[in-house]
Chain A
Amino acid sequence: MDSPILQAKNLTKIYGQNVIFQDISLDVNRGETIVVIGPSGTGKSTLLRCINLLTPINSGQIFLNGKEITAPEASEDKVRQQVGMVFQNFLLFNHLTALDNVMIGLSKVKKLPKAQAREKALYELNRVGLSDRADHYPGQLSGGQQQRVGIARALAMDPSVMLFDEPTSALDPELIGEVLGVMEILAREHMTMLVVTHEMGFAREVANRIVFMEKGSIVEQGSPNDLFYHPQHERTREFLWKITELYGKKDEEE
């Protein structure tokens, strides 16, 4: 196994008086799908935003493809071309069609010629199952469709890593499935993914590794099997119990 595609070393983030997380380290291997779970407000989303440099860290280092992206001479914009992000609130560009949303990174950032950008964008839209909605505007799409366009938009840049920040939390229940379905396909295609979510079913079925975060630190991490059936820490056990209660004891019906 070659070195991890993404390495976070001793990351600390402080907002004013609050320590969001302290001294966190995490390795992500190529092709892995890592799901981060934990109570709300424990810094999971902040961690993701620090990884693609949207939020600056107070101390620590992050390496992508072996290069340190937190180095002062690193170009943030260039780094973000290699890290795709999917947001809880989709954040599609409202004045652009689905196709243009996916295309704009290719033409303005990667400076591809229009025809080439278009072709690639259509390919990605097709990949998420929305090629027939290419000229629809976000206002004309359902939540699930918007999120899938968001995924296509991130994929179009051919990133090394895809970050998912609670991608289904803002969706109506019946729309969650279509988004998780796309994510599952990506995982099977060995896309490197770091996913923050409450969807335990997805975590169990699709994740290679689950990371449990609480109060700003990583309590435990391991394969879904290990974490769900043999949690090492009491807090892990407690959290999983609460969550499966909420989700209706799914893993007891195995």
Chain B
Amino acid sequence: MKRLYFWFALIAVFGLVLAACGGAGGNTHLDKVKQAGLIKVGTSADYPPFEYVDENGNKAGFDIELMEEIAKQLGVKVEWVDMPFDSLIAGVQEGKLDASISAFNYTEERDQVVDFSIAYYDGEDAFAVSEGFSGTLAQPEDVVAYKVGVQNGTTQDGWLTELVEQGLLPEANLSRYDRADQAALDLKNGRIEVMLADAIPMKALVQQLGGLKIAYEGVVSSGPINVVLPNGDTELTQAVNDIIKKLQAEGFVDALAIKHFGQ
């Protein structure tokens, strides 16, 4: 029993010292964020309508507005850090970002190094082709017959890569791009025949570029999208989840979806 008291006392002293050093309040990541009044959120602002830069040079988009609201509810402001998409997970993992929102899907691989919030939106995938496309895409797996493009590091990339590893899709027929709009442009000028991406941005690109159409829409690789948070950061994740639930119940999320996606 004395042993227990001893350890208890030691930990209490240790905790007190830490608290004294760390300033007022506790010392979880969430506390630090609240103390700083700032949450560093990574995004790749080249993916309309989820996150992009508008004509005034400001960040805009579904994810952007949602995250700003979440931060507001936490009582902090967002410090946006814009990075190429495939650097974002590493950014959270290395502790350079407090969180990241960039239309992320859950994958087991990602889960090993970061944590996910509950889903804040559900989405499907879409295959886009040029208007003169004469092939068949009745089901997703039909894509193996064509030259296909995808954004690097996305779940769609993962799905297609699996097909390559299974020997169904020739490696040479898969092109990876840093940004979705790069792939769309190559689709338009015929360098690739099919493009796979999240349905909403895909439709936006199709509409903007012209000469393209959606060949297939449905759940292929994605599904719900989540906020990415640091591994093992239960306090922050819990806080974010609570707010997401609240915003969904209030209809905030739906309204945002109508504003940005029209649905």
Direct contact of A and B (CB under 8 A): no
